[in-house]
Structure 1
Amino acid sequence: MSIDAILGPGGAVAQRLGSYEERPEQLAMARSVDDAIRGRKHLMVEAGTGVGKSFAYLVPAIQAALEDKNCRAVISTATISLQEQLIKKDIPFLQSVFAKPFQAALVKGRGNYLSLRRLEVAGKHVRSLFGEAETIEQLARINQWARTTEDGSLGTLSFAPLPSVWDQVVSETGNCLGRKCPHFRDCFFFKARRAIQGANLLIVNHALFFSDLALRVGGGFNLLPDYDIAILDEAHTLEDFAASHLGLQLTSGQIEYMLNRLFSPRRKTGLLAVNGDAEAIDQVSATRYAAEQFFGSLAAWAEAERDRGKPRWSQPMPAGITVRVRKPGPVADVLSEELLKLGSALARLGRAVENEQEEIEFDAAEHRSQTLATAVRQWLEQADPGQVYWIEVQQRQRGGASVRLAAAPIDVGPALRELLYEKTPTVILTSATLSNGGPDGFGYFQKRLGLEDCQTLQLGSPFDYRKQAELHLFSKLPDPRDESAFERAAVG
């Protein structure tokens, strides 16, 4: 079927959708998306509210996948609500429209899935890993849920577990035994990945999409299978997502949390509490002290920079400060070496244990420690001249400061060209707000995302705002806390 035969007046969608309304803008967008896919070109579409963007890109993508069984499309969104609309409403409806069957899958990050092996291990070391009644009770509830859940994903759990509980049972790359795992056949994560391999459409969020791109840097492994079409909805958010995932972030909380997972001096719990290795526990203490000194020095440096009042980017924030770091090494590196020593201690323990399941836990912890050490050094050294570096300090209510070290590409365009546009035959970017309204049109956004060489299409909203909308300007309104009075005034 042609695009018009599906989406046009009297088409397959109109025949099945009782509330169908003709939308010329939707049809124009669908034709352009279809043309881009068939021509292996990139396209940027601004489509106003009410156009029906999802059908306009889903229908051509499905057509392409049905015509070529090896064709796969990834559709990425910024919000959960749009993901749910696609996977629960739009795609099931279109499955009833197309004569040929096609498969779609919602892709979740690995951190959403329960590891049956780790749950079993946690159950054997409850007292060493969980020190409070609440955490033990939550583990029991997860254990009960594991017997009945179909997909083992966090979203289907009836309560929100504490991070300290979920982190002990979550599926992780670093401590996965793969096919050697006794639970491999029943593994929720690998079941989901097998379903993905057979799907024509993959629905993901921008965070997962850009995490996958970041892992592909330097030929690393990937989270998503290869795809021929990338459709990025809510594309006005892409620059922020790209900068965040292609940059660097490290917080004092990450270090503290990692150390507490190894050994909590207050609760006497953690991975090292299981075997009680005194040398490794001492190194955790040494690393904790180094982290306190390191982040304390950075907080003091940031406050001094802010107060110095020199002409540099430094702005007070309501709950803290943000300061750009223009030169390498604002403070001495007393942390990375201790993290590396900790990694060595964990590697020693991994070699010493005979149980492969315990060994992989130590190996994963070693990898985390080394990764954090590398991040500390990269940030201090400002290793990438193409990135901007800064520090954020926020005072905690219970005292002390939370410190975040960050770096982001000054220009995400080159990375996106290398990792996405040059490797993917068709990339579609769409949103209700992409152009700047001036004579430059899409130029600013194209330049920011490094996609100057692409087709563009601008479509207005089918809504007649002059007839369907009113603007009310109030010079005075009641206190919003007085709900009844506020509502009476607002609705006239």
Structure 2
Amino acid sequence: MNTTLSPAGILGPHGRISQKLKQYEHRHEQLAMAEAVAQAIDRRTHLIAEAGTGTGKSFAYLVPAILAATARQRDESKEPGEKPDRTRVVISTHTISLQEQLIGKDIPFLNAVLPLEFSAVLVKGRGNYVSLRRLKGTADRAGSMFADPRQVDQVGELLKWAHSTSDGSLASLSFRPPSEVWDEVRSDHGNCLGKKCPTYEDCLYYKARRRIWNADVLVVNHALFFADLALRREGASVLPDYQVVIFDEAHTVEHVASEHLGIKVTSGQVDYLLNKLYNSRSQKGLLVHHQFTQGQKLVVDLGYIADDLFGELRHYRDQHCGKNGRVRRIPEVTTDLASPLRDLGRSIATFAESIQSEENRIELEAAAQRCLGLAVSLESWLGQTLAGGVYWIEVGGRSLERVELCCSPVEIASVLRDELFSKVPTVVLTSATLAVGGQSFDFIRRRLGVDHSAELKVDSPFNFQENAKLLLPAGMPDPTESPFEYENAVCDRIRKYVDQTQGRAFVLFTSFKMLDSCARKLTDWFRQHGYSLYSQGEGT
């Protein structure tokens, strides 16, 4: 066995990384985790690994993941001409910052260190890519689609960008177009001509898709992963098949999976769809461009019906749901929005049949499908068709005009057990916080449906006992009952401890609103004491 191409031969004190970096500090916790991940992949078992802050989790799973993905390059047991088995690895994270670290820093470094050829791709959702055909069509009808001249100008800017970009995703844009513009030009599964499209050969989404299908390592976010998992239950997929999944920031998996396996319908979704089709104030919209007056009348009627339904549900929440908005039985409402939504979808679909241009016809057909899909989701929520789901109503906005109808499964263990852990040979769950109680993984096993797996818990290499002090201030006001007093008390403590550290401190908030308020209250104090204050969102 070539020990230099093993976790120890790469991460160990005399490994390849230590030879590359003069200041490299070997961490035995990192190597222990890397070997556990390698063993799980080799034995086709699952692994739950808690690794404390500073362990170096990303290298601990990247190294064995890359070795597994490239094992076929080193497999000498195959007969000449025999195609070796492929191991494709998906690495899923919750935050964009970690994805950027993996794809922009960690993986390129390992690519330079390891004598192996492998490809890694950051996978983005389809809606992140521009559709060249839709962009051209939007530019042709921009005058009848957008009331704001600035939005028309932005379509022109997108045209210029599309001719020069090799990536074609939102991340490569120098400006952020409003959703009303981007929604008209983005790539969309329901609005795609496939190989019939005149821009198919140049399609930036399909170019990215080909890179994804050829890659050894795929970096995704949890939202995209579980959107793909939901599609696989219906016989479709976004991602190619994979043999290994590694969830970093795995403590967020249950929450994200629940969101994508549930139901959500909002008043904003309905308003947005109807305004795209026809805005009676500006006399703009897709149906105006196609001069479909009957559809325009249906949209206007639907707007009033939608207001009635969501107003009725807002009143129902106030009367029957309590503070948390929990809906414990099928709500009794008299307004039917699903049926006219379905009628509008059918009307648009019928009208689309009279359009000669396939490119224009598919825009209308996609709009019809969105109407029908929204009707199905609305009926599912109102009828509480998701067995074992918890239903609730949320309201927001200055006048509480925004209404969200939400549903999540009470438990997702059975779904993940059947669709993930029983089908994928190796799933690794890792985070700094997974064990509870007496340092047991039983809770996360039960919540996620992990029946059998190896376990590993490694502490942080940082010496917290000698280099940290935990302070629990007594007598703090209750943040819920007395938010103003609580905020003032927090500012007092910040002044006290920042002064003790002579300005060298990092203050972490769970609320950006409170962060901003405290920063404003403390600015003068920091200036008077000669300390620099850097606040997220404002710079200094």
For normalisation by structure 1, the TM-score amounts to 0.93
**Superposed displacement of residue 238, structure 1:** 0.6
Superimposed CA distance per residue, residues 368-420 of structure 1 (whole angstroms, 9 cap, x where no aligned partner): 001000011101111122111111122x33x4611000110110101111111
Q: Choose from 259, 278, 292 the match for 1:244.
A: 259
**Superposed displacement of residue 218, structure 1:** 3.2
- Tell me whether 353-362 or 474-483 shows the greater mean CA deviation: 474-483
Matching residue of 2:522:
482
Superimposed CA distance per residue, residues 121-149 of structure 1 (whole angstroms, 9 cap, x where no aligned partner): 01111211112111111111111111211
Q: Choose from 20, 29, 35 the match for 2:33.
A: 29
1:355 equivalent in alignment to 2:370: no
C-alpha distance in 2 between matches for 1:453 and 1:403: 41
Matching residue of 2:319:
304
Q: 1:6 to 1:236 in 2, by over 3 A?
A: same
**Superposed displacement of residue 175, structure 1:** 0.6
1:89 equivalent in alignment to 2:105: yes
**Superposed displacement of residue 91, structure 1:** 0.3
1:152 equivalent in alignment to 2:168: yes
Matching residue of 1:310:
none
Superimposed CA distance per residue, residues 170-200 of structure 1 (whole angstroms, 9 cap, x where no aligned partner): 1100011111111111111000000011100
Matching residue of 1:319:
none
Structure 2 unmatched ranges of 5 or more? 73-84, 474-488, 496-517, 533-540
For normalisation by structure 2, the TM-score amounts to 0.85
Matching residue of 1:275:
290
C-alpha distance in 1 between matches for 2:422 and 2:38: 19
C-alpha distance in 2 between matches for 1:213 and 1:427: 14
- Tell me whether 428-437 or 286-295 shows the greater mean CA deviation: 286-295
Q: Choose from 206, 215, 233 the match for 1:217.
A: 233
1:71 equivalent in alignment to 2:71: no
C-alpha distance in 1 between matches for 2:434 and 2:381: 33
3-state DSSP class of the match of 2:58?
helix
| Counterpart AA for 1:452 | D
Whether the 8 Å contact between 1:298 and 1:330 is mirrored in structure 2 is no
1:132 equivalent in alignment to 2:136: no
1:388 equivalent in alignment to 2:403: no
| Counterpart AA for 1:43 | L
| Counterpart AA for 2:449 | G
| Counterpart AA for 1:357 | E
| Counterpart AA for 2:525 | A
1:344 equivalent in alignment to 2:359: no
C-alpha distance in 2 between matches for 1:252 and 1:26: 48
Matching residue of 1:43:
47
Matches within 5 A, 1:107-118: 107-118=123-134
The share of aligned pairs that are identical, in percent, is 46
Whether the 8 Å contact between 1:443 and 1:452 is mirrored in structure 2 is no
**Superposed displacement of residue 274, structure 1:** 0.7
Whether the 8 Å contact between 2:349 and 2:368 is mirrored in structure 1 is yes
C-alpha distance in 2 between matches for 1:17 and 1:236: 32
Whether the 8 Å contact between 1:33 and 1:43 is mirrored in structure 2 is yes
C-alpha distance in 2 between matches for 1:155 and 1:72: 25
| Counterpart AA for 1:271 | L
Whether the 8 Å contact between 1:248 and 1:408 is mirrored in structure 2 is yes
| Counterpart AA for 1:38 | D
3-state DSSP class of the match of 1:218?
coil
**Superposed displacement of residue 110, structure 1:** 0.6
**Superposed displacement of residue 89, structure 1:** 0.6
Matching residue of 1:418:
418
Q: Choose from 183, 190, 200 the match for 1:167.
A: 183
Whether the 8 Å contact between 2:308 and 2:335 is mirrored in structure 1 is no
Aligned residues: 474
1:325 equivalent in alignment to 2:327: yes
C-alpha distance in 2 between matches for 1:126 and 1:99: 52
Whether the 8 Å contact between 1:104 and 1:203 is mirrored in structure 2 is yes
Matching residue of 1:318:
none
Matching residue of 1:121:
137
C-alpha distance in 2 between matches for 1:256 and 1:203: 34
Whether the 8 Å contact between 1:47 and 1:461 is mirrored in structure 2 is yes
C-alpha distance in 1 between matches for 2:138 and 2:234: 35
Q: Choose from 39, 58, 61 the match for 2:62.
A: 58
Matching residue of 2:486:
none
Structure 1 unmatched ranges of 5 or more? 307-313, 316-321
Whether the 8 Å contact between 1:263 and 1:281 is mirrored in structure 2 is yes
Whether the 8 Å contact between 2:119 and 2:217 is mirrored in structure 1 is yes
> Relative CO higher for 1 or 2, CA cutoff 8 Å, sep ≥ 6?
1
3-state DSSP class of the match of 1:226?
coil
- Tell me whether 12-21 or 232-241 shows the greater mean CA deviation: 12-21
**Superposed displacement of residue 466, structure 1:** 2.4
